[in-house]
Amino acid sequence: MIARRDLFRGTAGMLAASALVPALDACAKSSPKASSPGASGSGGGGKAITLGFSQVGSESGWRTANTQSIKDAAGKAGITLNFSDAQQKQENQIAAIRNFIAQKVDVISFSPVVTSGWDAVLTEAKNAKIPVILTDRQVDSDQSLYVCLVGSDFEAEGERAAHLMEKVLAGASGPITMAQLEGTSGSAPATQRAAGFKKVMDASDPSWKIVISQDGNFTRDGGKQVMAAFLQSHPDINALFAHNDDMAIGAIQSIVAAGKKPGTDIKIVSVDGVHDGFVAMSQGQINAIAECNPLLGPQLMDTVKAVLAGQTVDRWIKTKESDFTADQAAAALPSRQY
């Protein structure tokens, strides 16, 4: 379990208020491209910025929206994007980062599929004097190996989801038998959402128990398969926390196949807030969603330019997120950006 305090080992406070970060300062000074700010999209000296980006994969609606946001924002910023889809495999991400180093890109960014196993390749990037910016997910490597993170607080998302579950279950009579569909094992969102959810649940109604919890890999098929197994072993499940909407939507298929009413017989809270999640919520099949904003592209491109221009950036650049219950879904749908 990665606690928030371990996200940036050795950093006094996670949200350094634009303090000059030693790692950044080192990157800015040591990177050959960290010169005076050039034209938009240039790394100084008029040379266009090339960003090597390794994406986790295309496992969910969230990921699709995240990829589109990054591609659109790179285009708007005049930044050349070398994009690689790792199909949720760490070895593919490591190979992609090595390719970016060989291509001598100006900056590397990636959303690490899992938190561990990055020290070697991040050291290679540092030795090549190419700054690395994390997006979306954290790593447990030493903070000197990357400049900053642009992404959400997953532990807070787990806590928010638990408070939504309390709201959804308020007034429920009888025992609550809860299941949890976890995201990809070893990933920051799965580890931290579970931790945040547990922290709130442990302090809530002691009769509420998570009786079964399993990895559904953030995919619809994963949610469907795992939920079908859950219902076989625990037919009395009446509450589900899914770490993302796609697994919740897959689970809904198995709940219906088992002759039960999702959102009624089994209360469902999930995370993300993608379009299909809102549609399911407007139909009463998902009861509440803790939003996780995938539209990180503009913040990432601003951070890329700032880092290459040797400017100070926060160690953790967070995205803004809200919570939604089913009664809000229909009104919110038309203005949803993803």
List of residues contacting ligand GZL (CB under 6 A): 59-60, 62-63, 136-137, 152, 189, 218, 244, 246, 271-272, 292
State how far the alpha carbon of 160 is from the alpha carbons of 126, 325, 328, 338, in Å.
Answer: 36, 12, 16, 20
Calpha distance 335→338 (Å, rounded): 9
Nearer to ligand GZL, 249 or 308 (CB): 249
Nearer to ligand GZL, 139 or 176 (CB): 139
Sign of CA dihedral 170, 173, 176, 182: negative
For residue 123, the minimal CB distance to ligand GZL (Å) is: 24
For residue 213, the minimal CB distance to ligand GZL (Å) is: 16
Calpha distance 321→318 (Å, rounded): 9
The residues with which 133 forms a beta bridge, in sequence order, are 109, 148
For residue 147, the minimal CB distance to ligand GZL (Å) is: 19
For residue 292, the minimal CB distance to ligand GZL (Å) is: 5
Nearer to ligand GZL, 8 or 218 (CB): 218
For residue 275, the minimal CB distance to ligand GZL (Å) is: 12
Least Cα distance to 193 among 180, 204, 176, 205 occurs for 180
Calpha distance 319→85 (Å, rounded): 23
Place of tokens 């806590």: 159
Q: Are 288 and 325 in contact (CB under 8 A)?
A: yes
For residue 53, the minimal CB distance to ligand GZL (Å) is: 14
Helix (H, G, I), strand (E, B) or coil at 184: coil
Task: At 117, list the tokens.
Answer: 């196993």
| Closest-approach residue to ligand GZL (CB) | 62
The residues with which 104 forms a beta bridge, in sequence order, are none
**Residue burial 73-97, b: 16+ Cβ < 10 Å; e: rest:** bbeebebebbebbbebebebbbebb
For residue 181, the minimal CB distance to ligand GZL (Å) is: 11
For residue 112, the minimal CB distance to ligand GZL (Å) is: 9
200: how many CB neighbours lie within 10 A of its CB? 17
